[in-house]
């Protein structure tokens, strides 16, 4: 007998929850974390975390908001550079 996935655990539905309503998406992910493979866990949780951080920015005061945006952008650029440098280490001999 084949097991079907519930509607709330399908790819498009999870992306919708994580992007449009991050708190609900985070709850759905955390409640069903054992049902995902390791790569899926990382992918969904990273999207949900980034979108939740952006979503929470609207509740911060205006002055603090710009500092948080700068920190998020700096973190994303830094992580991209580190990932790029780690990936190119093996190409040089």
Contacts of 85 (CB under 8 A, 6+ apart): none
Same domain, 48 and 76: no
Same domain, 72 and 46: no
Per the structure, the count of domains in the chain is 2
Residue 32, number of CB atoms within 10 A of its CB: 14
Name the residue range of residue 17's domain. Answer: 1-59
Same domain, 34 and 74: no
Residue 57 DSSP symbol: G
10-45 pLDDT per residue, tens:
889 988 988 888 889 889 999 998 988 888 888 888
Residue 75, number of CB atoms within 10 A of its CB: 12
Same domain, 54 and 65: no
58-80 pLDDT per residue, tens:
777 777 777 777 888 888 888 88
Given a cut of 50, whether residue 1 has pLDDT beyond it is no
């Amino acid at each position: 007998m084949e097991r079907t996935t519930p509607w709330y655990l399908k790819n498009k539905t999870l992306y919708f929850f994580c992007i449009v309503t991050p708190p609900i998406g985070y709850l759905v992910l955390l409640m069903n974390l054992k049902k995902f493979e390791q790569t899926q866990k990382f992918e969904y949780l990273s999207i949900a975390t980034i979108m939740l951080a952006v979503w929470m920015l609207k509740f911060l005061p205006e002055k603090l908001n710009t500092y948080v945006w700068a920190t998020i952008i700096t973190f994303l650029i830094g992580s991209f550079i580190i990932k790029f440098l780690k990936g190119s280490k093996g190409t040089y001999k």
